[in-house]
Amino acid sequence: MTSSDRRWPPLIIADHVPRFIRWRDFLLTLLMWIAFAIMLETEFELFFGDHLERLGFGDFDTEANWPIFFERLTPFLVTIALLISLLGVASMRTLQQRRRSLLLPIPVPLGLTEECRRAGLDEQELTSARASMIVVVHIDADGKHRIEADVINRVIWPKA
């Protein structure tokens, strides 16, 4: 297949995933799990060292030094607490704004003439469009509306 025969945009569909993409995803996933295991080497050793030592995988330092462990973990716990509190404050503000907005009166609907003026239509055209079951509205670049109200006859009963 030449480059001119390929469809644009190049979509990767789940039924036809290229082999390169599968290998790339597998390799990236494997590398991320290895990086995760390296970052948490001390924790894995602390929690699984006894079992690994019994299986003969080596000599592990499994004596837990919990004060040092939690001392090293403290900055992360403080960051988590700060982010959770900021999320809580933002949630409360959102709920308060929503509660206040629900107390506002419902705005008065536009009159037919004002709505027609804003859309650039005449009243008869808008009224007949509202009465139709299917209507296609085209909005031009300048914001003017053009209505095709007779779409139902062309869609259901096309002229032969």
The Cα-based distances of 94 to 41, 82, 89, 106, 107 in angstroms read 41, 18, 9, 20, 22
- Give pLDDT, residue 31: 97
Convert the pLDDT of each residue in 84-134 to its tens digit: 999 999 999 999 999 999 999 988 888 888 888 877 778 887 787 777 777
DSSP summary character for residue 16: G
Distance CA 33, CA 38 (A): 9
CB-CB contact of 46 with 60 (8 Å)? no
Average pLDDT (27-31) is 97
- Give pLDDT, residue 65: 74
Strand, coil or helix: 147: strand
Residue with tokens 């390929």: 6
CB-CB contact of 119 with 138 (8 Å)? no
- What helix, strand, coil percent values describe the chain, rounded to 5? 60, 5, 35
Of 27, 30, 7, 8, nearest in space to 19 by CA = 27
Strand, coil or helix: 8: coil
- Give pLDDT, residue 5: 67
List strand residue ranges (DSSP E) for 44-160, in order.
136-139, 145-148
Convert the pLDDT of each residue in 32-74 to its tens digit: 999 998 888 777 777 777 777 777 777 766 676 778 878 888 9
